[in-house]
A and B are shown apart, each in its own frame.
Chain A
């Protein structure tokens, strides 16, 4: 009997690891980012609004089963509500930069990209020119909590702030001033692939494949603490 329970627990833990390592977890395509931007245009006036927003945002980001990180969902919802009521509760650029640098260290990226608060400001102001509801423009003191998670994902995906974003930041475009157009686009093979981004992605895959659920949970909790999400209730 003891063997049987041990096996079942081991099986459950292994399933969680496999889920985390399979790539079916957090992922944000540009299409889902557009949907997330539309979702983020709604007002948050109470706890139910905040909880519904976070749940839908998680689903759009590929997290269909938030039970893996139950506290994170409630912490995000509480943070969204607080930020909606008080702009001083927005996630500062310093905290996002600190969280990204913590991620780089934890994932043991071979060539980590150090990111500063100024870099984060550039990234969100450029992103706000296309997705003005997810990302805060530079006139705002910080990011919405969900926006900060999305930004951390993008920084991980790209291996930091790209040169294109740095150049575009100099143009100081207003939020929502750019629309993604189908004309002028193309399909093809990338002549200039982002190898730093590849390094970050490979490190992320390796991390989630090799760490225990407890280690992953501990890491996510530290990330949540770093960006200042309220404690879980």
Chain B
């Protein structure tokens, strides 16, 4: 009799637990100015022009955070709110977690353990300045989607008969500047010989450059001239085409 009563009590508790929704456990949600914020783990794919092509969750990722300091308004008043100053969460299948009562309008340090690794990163760290309730701590793993390696109109030329231009075909972007062709020399002292910007470009398709010149300024180098093309990305980095 006693056991049966305990079983029914346990079932009742379980029933209440699974039916009480937000009141029982914090489902992912926007934070509030009074405290609490989301933690998200997402993956994003960009093209070489920096356009976000696709995104999706990175599920079940372990994220930690530690409060560093509060933010103050112009009058010197502490505007932070929320009592929780340390957390460790694992995001759910849709890459969401929620830090109930986490301190907002404050500065935080955070770490993430990517599993599987994100582009070789397993453990990463960062700081969030002035953590906002709606944004929270948004970790991302970015990748680039690119076309096949650039292919050029000219592969071999006769000495003294080099064309005036060379056209390369690839998913080039001009959003952040013209593509640039860089010529290298090998041998005992390898290095950059020259660089030249495209004289014309069709975004996503091709770019035409003045034919590369040797260190001496001649248009027809005696030996093979390895080159690569690079295009600038929005954050200032360069995307290399080989």
Question: Which of these, A14, A31, A157, contacts B19 with CB under 8 Å?
Answer: A14
> In the docked arrangement, what's the CA distance between A172 and B146, Å?
14
Tell me which of B71-79, B81-89, B119-127 binds A.
Answer: B119-127
Whether the Cβ atoms of A23 and B92 lie closer than 8 Å is: yes
Chain B residues with a Cβ closer than 8 Å to the other chain, count: 67
A215 to chain B, nearest CB (A): 14
Whether the Cβ atoms of B15 and A10 lie closer than 8 Å is: yes
**Known A-B contacts A7-B12, A23-B94, A180-B143; A33 and B56 likewise in contact (beta carbons under 8 Å):** yes
B-facing residues in A135-171 (Cβ within 8 Å) = 154, 157-158, 162-165, 167-168, 171
Whether the Cβ atoms of A190 and B138 lie closer than 8 Å is: yes
Tell me which of B45-53, B192-200, B210-218 binds A.
Answer: B45-53
Chain A residues positioned under 8 Å from B18 (CB to CB): 11, 14-15, 17-18
> In the docked arrangement, what's the CA distance between A17 and B22, Å?
12
B123 to chain A, nearest CB (A): 9
Whether the Cβ atoms of B30 and A187 lie closer than 8 Å is: no
**Known A-B contacts A188-B140, A205-B28; A165 and B146 likewise in contact (beta carbons under 8 Å):** no
CB-based nearest B residue for A3: B8
Chain B residues positioned under 8 Å from A184 (CB to CB): 143-144, 146, 237, 239
Whether the Cβ atoms of B51 and A164 lie closer than 8 Å is: yes
**Known A-B contacts A178-B145, A179-B145, A185-B141; A30 and B92 likewise in contact (beta carbons under 8 Å):** no
> In the docked arrangement, what's the CA distance between A173 and B126, Å?
35
Question: Which of these, B22, B95, B148, B203, contacts A209 with CB under 8 Å?
Answer: B22
Q: Check: B165 CB closer than 8 A to any chain A CB.
A: no
Whether the Cβ atoms of B141 and A190 lie closer than 8 Å is: no
Interface size class of A (residues with CB under 8 A): 35 or more
Whether the Cβ atoms of B11 and A11 lie closer than 8 Å is: yes
Question: Which of these, A33, A131, A162, A189, contacts B140 with CB under 8 Å?
Answer: A189
Q: Check: A117 CB closer than 8 A to any chain B CB.
A: no
Whether the Cβ atoms of A193 and B56 lie closer than 8 Å is: no
> In the docked arrangement, what's the CA distance between A111 and B182, Å?
47
Q: B50-64 vs A: 1/0 string, CB under 8 Å?
A: 111111111100000
B-facing residues in A171-213 (Cβ within 8 Å) = 171-173, 177-190, 193-195, 197-199, 201-202, 205-206, 209-210
Whether the Cβ atoms of A187 and B118 lie closer than 8 Å is: yes
Chain B residues positioned under 8 Å from A189 (CB to CB): 110, 126, 128, 137-140
Chain A residues positioned under 8 Å from B96 (CB to CB): 23, 201, 205
Chain B residues positioned under 8 Å from A62 (CB to CB): 93
Chain A residues positioned under 8 Å from B51 (CB to CB): 164-165, 167-168
**Known A-B contacts A178-B145, A187-B118, A205-B27; A154 and B56 likewise in contact (beta carbons under 8 Å):** yes
**Known A-B contacts A181-B143, A185-B118, A201-B96; A167 and B128 likewise in contact (beta carbons under 8 Å):** no
B71 to chain A, nearest CB (A): 17
B-facing residues in A36-68 (Cβ within 8 Å) = 62
**Known A-B contacts A24-B92, A187-B114, A187-B119; A198 and B134 likewise in contact (beta carbons under 8 Å):** yes
Chain B residues positioned under 8 Å from A163 (CB to CB): 52
CB-based nearest A residue for B110: A189
B90 to chain A, nearest CB (A): 11
Whether the Cβ atoms of B145 and A130 lie closer than 8 Å is: yes
Q: Check: B69 CB closer than 8 A to any chain A CB.
A: no
Whether the Cβ atoms of A162 and B52 lie closer than 8 Å is: yes
Listed by A's residue number, 8 A-B pairs whose Cβ atoms lie within 8 Å are A18-B19, A62-B93, A129-B145, A154-B54, A164-B47, A183-B144, A186-B121, A210-B21
Residues of B within 8 A of A (CB): 8, 11-12, 14-15, 18-19, 21-22, 27-30, 38, 40, 42-47, 49-59, 92-96, 110, 112, 114, 116, 118-121, 124, 126, 128, 134-135, 137-148, 171, 203-204, 237, 239
Please name 12 further chain A to chain B contacts, defined as beta carbons within 8 Å, in addition to the given A30-B143, A189-B128, A206-B22, sorted by A numbering: A21-B27, A24-B92, A27-B57, A30-B56, A171-B171, A182-B120, A185-B119, A186-B119, A187-B119, A202-B29, A205-B27, A205-B29
